[in-house]
Structure 1
Amino acid sequence: LKKERDYLKEINEGLIEAEFFDEGEAWKPQSITDSITLPIYTMLPFIQWCKEHRDICMMEWAEGSKIKYYPGISSSAAHISFKSKNNWYEVEGDIEIREGQVISLQKLLGLMHQSAHQKYILIGDNEFITISTQLSRILKRLDTVTTENRSHLQIAPAAVSLLGDLLDDTSLDIKRNETMDALRQRIEACSKKIPVVPKTLQAQLRDYQEEGFEWMSRLTAWGAGVCLADDMGLGKTIQTITLLLEQSENGASLIVAPASVVPNWRNELQRFAPTLNFTILNQSEDRSKDIKEAKAGDVIITTYGLLNIQQDDLTGREWNVVCLDEAHTIKNANTKMSKSAMLLNAQRKVILTGTPIQNHLAELWNLFQFINPGLLGSAEQFKKKFILPIEGDNDKARQSQLRRLISPFLLRRTKAEVIDELPAKNEIKLPVELSSEEMAMYEVKRRETETKILENKADKVSTLAEITHLRQMACSCSLVDKKWKLPSSKVLAFIDLAESLNDSGNRALVFSQFTSFFEEVRKAMDKAKLPYLYLDGSTPMSMREKLVKEFQSGKCPFFLISLKAGGLGLNLTGANYVIHLDPWWNPAIEQQATDRAYRIGQKQDVTVYRLISQHTIEEKILRLHKTKRNLSDSLLEGSDISHALTQEELLELLQDNR
């Protein structure tokens, strides 16, 4: 009996070694027929342990179920070769499982994805291998940087920088490539470069702005494209202007921006870089000539709309630096605007955006396809490798892998990280209780929409239209029913707040996504004799500038701005209050709007009010905001990310949780 107890003690030590038990735990069989079930990642090392302890263990296999197990395959078993082809690099290789048996690198990477535990890999029927920690690290690195192309793996030029010391690993049998080695040497040399802020810059950069310029300069020097994704208001424009000045002798540069942002580029170039000669293409008398004759020291500024119209001219020449401002404008790969942008030819590509992803992960692919083509594979490869696992299965390993892949080329700093002196920002949710009449009408519409979804009587487009109606009714029932005559509870709540702010001498930006709701708000403000300025998408560019100057001068206490028209390119630090009349699906869009006031130059504390109608879809949208931010923090460290709403999520939005 003592000998059996000693044997059992050793077996438990083997189970601990196989990581089935923690230290101090043990298997305590009550009879000779007792058994335990081991998961595969524990069973395999335990089988190996049993083979090494045949004096106390005997293994029996059911007929046809014997497992073949090849443990401890190290990096010395790997044979890898690189070769250049059409500005790409092909990777081939194999791993020797045992003498006379090899498995291709491409197949092994695929099998790793299918294995629940990547250390123990199923390579055939009841046939497993265990790879060493070092080989696992090498394979994961290759999996991150490669994409499949039929019969082989390939690496985009930008991804070469992510190979690190892998190519110098002496334990590997590597056949190197001269072209790739030359690029690696160039990358290493550029990483040691110490960029100097041009003396012609008429500004004193903050430390983080100088770091941003240096980062862009080093990466673009070896041909990589970059995404500067700092918070709104941290000076992405001046960091880019510094790069334009540094590179001004290397050719003409191009800036593409929304029409609303063009005046800001004009003003900052005049102020900070007077030695650069800029032309606003929209104001040019001969666009083709100006584009063709642009030379070193010249900067052409154009809108996304003109990018389509002047596509042949703009894409028919090489640029020194091409910068896409508010680059999420090309987030949809299928638009003509995006396709035109992809044709631009430049030595250096820069994109600026405070929100690299606004709605779903596919948008990130399109932005990176512009700055570093092929880094994320094709759209279909990206979907298979990242979108489906991350958005569908919340795959943390894939999230981490994607973050490693994009992080060298994406720089994002938040205000909290870099600015100590920025005043406080207070956010307040202001609940609005709808009247019984409003709630009754809302409830009828909610039930109708819920029934349509449950009975599959509405497609996705019509369902979203119905949900938009619910969001409008949470603002005012008159937006959906033109016969509605009763006052809007939300308008009344806003007027109370506005009168209080006005009486206290405060000034506020007021945002809504519904211009039709603003019509009702404006009537109420006129009646209450509350002065205001108003801006929406139909406001001409010249008038926008006048309105901004008037508000900044302190002549008017309220500035009503449609969310999409005024979320970009406006500096409105004259306001110390921001009021969101209705929540947008994407919290990053709201944040952009808030940042019109909460930015560098703001001297006062800023208070943000969100008017939320109780027991309506607006409360559900706020909950979605939290989900989106959590996922974005895990992937892009601050940029917003979400996914398309499923039918279940749409139903969740419509549920009555009173």
Structure 2
Amino acid sequence: LKRVLKSLILQKRYHRLKSGQFVSLEARAFQQLQRVLAQMEASERDLRDGRLVLPAVRNMKHLIGASILHLHADLLEKWFELKSGQGFRLDLPNSLESQLYPYQRTGIQFLKNLDAQGCHGILADEMGLGKTIQAIGYIATISDSRALIVAPASLLRNWEAELKRFLPGRPVHVVTGSQTSRLSELKYLAENTVTIVSYTTLRTDVRRHPVYDVVFFDEAQHLKNPQSQTVSQLRHLQAKRRFALTGTPLENRPRDIWSIFHVLFPELLPDLATFEKWSFDDMQQFIQPFLLRREKKDVLQDLPKKQIEHHYVELGPNQKRLYASYLAKLQLETLQHLDETKREDRLKLLAGLTRLRQICNDPGLFVEGYTGEATKRTRLLSLIAEKRAAGKRILIFSQYTQMLERIRSDLAQRHLPHFLLTGETPLEDRVALCDRFNDGEVDLFLISLKAGGTGLNLASADTVILFDSWWNPAVEQQAADRAHRLGQQSDVTVIKLLTRGTIEEKMTELQDRKAKMVDAVLTAPDSDALTVKELVHLVTTKEEQR
């Protein structure tokens, strides 16, 4: 049998028996078995005394599809338990159980079930559904174990606060300081400590960390580039169970999903080249048992509504003249000589688009000594007065920190108390600012779009103003979801300020088209990528496009 299997694995057309007789391997049954062996990437090394020994999880899909094979009942049972998310008893502390929504308990059950089957996976709930508390719930079930949380540096204190809130008796350690001191501290931590570390720090120290019982990778998009140093180094982290948390996995390309699983569960998928040849249906079906995704509309029917409004503003006379001149310059100097393959040309195009967008916001962002109008700023101030008079609590987002400083100056002149959070805000202050805002200390919070896009819970706000737009609609959704999340008691209004007849209008059209493709990963690869042609479309007229 071993020799016959070897001939099949080597895809021979016939096999010679000890008696000297030849057996054709081109018969239908042999060919069917040969296809199964090829799909499972079986090699001679996998043959042991006439038995074929292969990783079960990785190959169950092919095995179950092969009607010629009779599978062991335990193997089939494991596969269907994984697909249904059932099969492991969940016992949570009462103090935590009382804080959970039913779907969050199901999420913890999902993690425990993967654990029980010796598997790893991704919790991919939409932002605002409480992935943090579900991860903490899982950690609560392994009370005597060593756990690690890996997160962006901006979220370390947020994780520390949440762990102390929901697991008050569990020791928590945030890894900071010089390499010598942080590695020294790791040696003396209690066995049941929950350790929190940034991606950047772990990348440097990974080979010096102990073995963990479980690791959670928060904001797992940090693992989506298989060629990155982060992915290369973090694969050396030793952990018995590995889980990822991300709110936007379905915007990733198949390559991104493969890269995340390459860190979490390397034995699950084939090599990247083979994986990218799979059909999208095969990818989706195979990954499904290891990825749990819920949306707000499916699990929180009682969550207050989110309403999106577009408020259009006309450019003032001075702004219009500046906008027209910079647009003409961009079309003349850049578009006429644009070579899409040259990085320098693409950067020139992006720089020109940035200037146009800054003129829409406030030309004073880059025109020295500009004293003309900035109509969007004027509109923002009237909106703030209107919303505050109605008792609203407001978050204001911009991608330009200079713009936030100008808005801050306007608020100071009007003696309106507010908070400001940007990339320069010390990490330890961010959670404190959010807590003070949620406690009602002020009603206005200015936030940098990127610095505030993740990890902040500002559910006491009910109005979100996006002062300028971002290329990817998911980034704006992240900003809006700082308010539209668990704990929100009021309907949330998201206001996008747009200047009429400018690049901002076309960006909104582009975003709407992209948003329809956001269910992307396994149905529309590369849907979140912005092409040079789409960028050019933003600054050309319909006649020029024809």
Q: TM-score, structure 1 length as denominator? A: 0.70
Equivalent residue for 1:264? 158
Bigger strand fraction: 1
Find the aligned partners of 1:469 and 1:147 in 2 and give their Cα distance. Answer: 53
Find the aligned partners of 2:10 and 2:215 in 1 and give their Cα distance. Answer: 35
Q: 1:643 to 1:586 in 2, by over 3 A?
A: closer
Equivalent residue for 1:629? 515
Find the aligned partners of 1:477 and 1:359 in 2 and give their Cα distance. Answer: 35
Equivalent residue for 2:59? 160
Equivalent residue for 1:433? 314
Q: Secondary structure at the match of 2:470?
A: coil
> Would you say 1:209 and 2:104 are equivalent positions?
yes
Which segments of 5 or more consecutive residues in structure 1 lack a partner in the other structure? 1-79, 84-89, 109-134, 387-397
Equivalent residue for 1:16? none
Equivalent residue for 1:23? none
Q: CA deviation at 1:156?
A: 6.8
Q: 1:296 to 1:93 in 2, by over 3 A?
A: farther
Choose the corresponding residue for 1:224, options 96, 100, 119: 119
Find the aligned partners of 2:110 and 2:396 in 1 and give their Cα distance. Answer: 37
Q: 1:300 to 1:600 in 2, by over 3 A?
A: same
Q: CA deviation at 1:479?
A: 2.2
Find the aligned partners of 2:63 and 2:101 in 1 and give their Cα distance. Answer: 31
Find the aligned partners of 1:147 and 1:433 in 2 and give their Cα distance. Answer: 62
Q: CA deviation at 1:268?
A: 2.3
Equivalent residue for 2:231? 338
Residues 224-373 of structure 1: pairs in structure 2 closer than 5 A: 224-249=119-144, 251-282=145-176, 286-294=181-189, 296-314=191-209, 317-356=210-249, 360-373=253-266
Equivalent residue for 1:404? 285
Residues 462-541 of structure 1: pairs in structure 2 closer than 5 A: 462-541=348-427
Q: CA deviation at 1:630?
A: 2.4
Answer with 266-275 or 602-611: which moved more: 266-275
Find the aligned partners of 1:198 and 1:491 in 2 and give their Cα distance. Answer: 50
Find the aligned partners of 1:239 and 1:640 in 2 and give their Cα distance. Answer: 29
Choose the corresponding residue for 1:193, options 46, 63, 87: 87
Contact 1:203–1:272 under 8 Å retained in 2? no
Find the aligned partners of 2:303 and 2:432 in 1 and give their Cα distance. Answer: 27
> Would you say 1:420 and 2:314 are equivalent positions?
no
Residues 558-573 of structure 1: pairs in structure 2 closer than 5 A: 558-573=444-459
Task: Specify the code of the residue in structure 1 equivalent to 2:282.
Answer: Q
Q: 1:490-516, CA deviations, whole angstroms, 9 ceiling, x for partnerless residues? A: 111111111111222211001111112
Find the aligned partners of 1:652 and 1:377 in 2 and give their Cα distance. Answer: 39
Q: Secondary structure at the match of 1:644?
A: coil
Q: CA deviation at 1:645?
A: 2.8
Q: CA deviation at 1:379?
A: 4.0
Equivalent residue for 2:277? 385
Find the aligned partners of 1:442 and 1:536 in 2 and give their Cα distance. Answer: 28
Find the aligned partners of 1:227 and 1:339 in 2 and give their Cα distance. Answer: 19
Task: Specify the code of the residue in structure 2 equivalent to 1:160.
Answer: N
- Which structure has more RCO (C-alpha within 8 Å, separation ≥ 6)? 2
Q: Secondary structure at the match of 2:97?
A: coil
> Would you say 1:609 and 2:495 are equivalent positions?
yes
Answer with 619-628 or 405-414: which moved more: 619-628
Task: Specify the code of the residue in structure 2 equivalent to 1:542.
Answer: E
Q: 1:77-127, CA deviations, whole angstroms, 9 ceiling, x for partnerless residues? A: xxx9699xxxxxx9776999xx9794999xx9xxxxxxxxxxxxxxxxxxx
Q: 1:652 to 1:241 in 2, by over 3 A?
A: same
Q: 1:428 to 1:146 in 2, by over 3 A?
A: farther
Equivalent residue for 1:36? none
Answer with 516-525 or 577-586: which moved more: 516-525
Q: 1:160 to 1:217 in 2, by over 3 A?
A: farther
Q: Give the total of aligned pairs.
A: 516
Contact 2:42–2:54 under 8 Å retained in 1? no
Contact 1:261–1:569 under 8 Å retained in 2? yes
Q: CA deviation at 1:626?
A: 2.6
Q: CA deviation at 1:244?
A: 1.3
Task: Specify the code of the residue in structure 2 equivalent to 1:467.
Answer: L
Q: 1:285-306, CA deviations, whole angstroms, 9 ceiling, x for partnerless residues? A: 9422443455642211112222
Residues 75-114 of structure 1: pairs in structure 2 closer than 5 A: 102=26
Contact 1:572–1:596 under 8 Å retained in 2? yes
Residues 27-46 of structure 1: pairs in structure 2 closer than 5 A: none
Q: CA deviation at 1:657?
A: 5.3
Equivalent residue for 2:529? 644
Find the aligned partners of 1:351 and 1:500 in 2 and give their Cα distance. Answer: 42
Q: 1:17-40, CA deviations, whole angstroms, 9 ceiling, x for partnerless residues? A: xxxxxxxxxxxxxxxxxxxxxxxx
Q: 1:501 to 1:343 in 2, by over 3 A?
A: same
Contact 2:90–2:112 under 8 Å retained in 1? no
Contact 1:232–1:595 under 8 Å retained in 2? yes
Q: Secondary structure at the match of 1:459?
A: helix
Q: Secondary structure at the match of 2:153?
A: coil
Contact 1:234–1:600 under 8 Å retained in 2? yes
Task: Specify the code of the residue in structure 2 equivalent to 1:443.
Answer: A
Q: CA deviation at 1:148?
A: 11
Find the aligned partners of 1:429 and 1:91 in 2 and give their Cα distance. Answer: 61
Q: 1:562 to 1:104 in 2, by over 3 A?
A: farther
Q: CA deviation at 1:211?
A: 0.9
> Would you say 1:542 and 2:428 are equivalent positions?
yes
Q: 1:355-412, CA deviations, whole angstroms, 9 ceiling, x for partnerless residues? A: 1255655332321222222545444445x537xxxxxxxxxxx333332232222111
Find the aligned partners of 2:525 and 2:247 in 1 and give their Cα distance. Answer: 9
Equivalent residue for 2:328? 447
Task: Specify the code of the residue in structure 2 equivalent to 1:366.
Answer: S
Q: CA deviation at 1:600?
A: 1.0
Contact 1:356–1:640 under 8 Å retained in 2? no
Q: CA deviation at 1:185?
A: 6.5
Q: 1:175 to 1:206 in 2, by over 3 A?
A: closer
Q: CA deviation at 1:518?
A: 1.3
Contact 2:219–2:245 under 8 Å retained in 1? yes
Choose the corresponding residue for 1:578, options 464, 477, 493: 464
Find the aligned partners of 2:241 and 2:136 in 1 and give their Cα distance. Answer: 14
Q: 1:61-87, CA deviations, whole angstroms, 9 ceiling, x for partnerless residues? A: xxxxxxxxxxxxxxxxxxx9699xxxx
Q: Secondary structure at the match of 1:510?
A: strand
Q: Secondary structure at the match of 1:484?
A: coil
Find the aligned partners of 2:338 and 2:75 in 1 and give their Cα distance. Answer: 55
Q: 1:232 to 1:641 in 2, by over 3 A?
A: farther
Contact 1:628–1:641 under 8 Å retained in 2? no
Q: Secondary structure at the match of 1:427?
A: strand
Q: TM-score, structure 2 length as denominator? A: 0.83
Higher radius of gyration, 1 or 2? 1
Contact 1:200–1:245 under 8 Å retained in 2? no
Q: Secondary structure at the match of 1:348?
A: strand
Equivalent residue for 2:441? 555
Q: Secondary structure at the match of 1:546?
A: helix
